[in-house]
Amino acid sequence: MSEFEPTIVAFFCNWCTFTAADLAGTSRLSYPHNIRIIRVMCTGMVDPQYVIKAFLEGADGVLVSGCNPGDCHYINGNYKARRRIKLLKEILPQFGFENERLRLTWIGASDGVRLAEILRTFVTQIKALGPSQTKLKMAI
């Protein structure tokens, strides 16, 4: 049987984490192909709806990543994102979505190496966790 390859949806902010992903690319660092990056202007614009939709459509993991505290291009978008992730982490586990499937990180623009490491770790963890319930079954 072939190894389980998770689908991970990643919301990266334009100014920090996406730039770090760019840097990882230009530095020829590799990271797992399981990550589907969606570039957003700020983690503060990641509506909880986006995360819910990703999970219901069968994502095995969702990563939201933005600027380090104090570095937000829009001053405080990442603090707002943190409250929303906190909220989702209270709601989703009630319905059987493991808390480990949803992650928030801060990765600065110059942290290409760290980005690659974090993505590797996340993919390993999701592989260990197995497929999400929505991957196997239809969500009504």
Partner 1 sequence: MTTMAKIDLKEQNPLEALKQFFAGILKLKDVTSILVPQRLSTLNTIMPTLVTDAALLEGVDPLAPAFPMNAARIASRLTRKPMGGKVAAVLRPCEIRAFIELVKLNQAHREEILLISTDCLGAFPNKEYFKFAAQDGGEETLRFYKTMLGGNTHEMEGYPLAPACKACEHPVSENADIQIGLYGIKPGESILIKAQSEAGDEMLKQMNLPETTEPTGRQAAIDTLISQRIRFRDDMFAKTQEAVNSLDKMGAYFSNCVNCYNCRVACPVCYCKECVFVTDVFDHEPSQYLQWAARKGMIKMPTDTLFYHLTRLAHMSTACVGCGQCSNACPNDIPIMEVFRTVAQHTQQAFGYEAGKNLEEKPPLSVFFKDEFQEVVGIS
Piece in contact with partner 1 (CB under 8 A), picked from 1-9, 13-21, 27-35, 117-125: 117-125
Cα 61 from chain centroid? 7
Query: Binding residue for partner 1 (CB under 8 A) from 39, 87, 113, 130?
Result: 87
Write the burial class of residue 87 (CB in 10 Å: 0-12 exposed, 13-18 middle, 19+ buried).
Answer: exposed
Q: Does 36 bind partner 1 (CB under 8 A)?
A: no
Measured from the CB atom, the residue of 110 and 124 that comes closer to partner 1 is: 124
Size of the site for partner 1 (CB under 8 A): 37
Q: Does 101 bind partner 1 (CB under 8 A)?
A: no
Measured from the CB atom, the residue of 16 and 85 that comes closer to partner 1 is: 85
Query: Binding residue for partner 1 (CB under 8 A) from 79, 98, 129, 131?
Result: 79
Alpha carbon distance 78, 35 (integer Å): 21
Helix axes 112-129, 17-26, angle to 10 degrees: 100
DSSP state of 102: E
Residue that the structure tokens 């079954």 belong to: 137
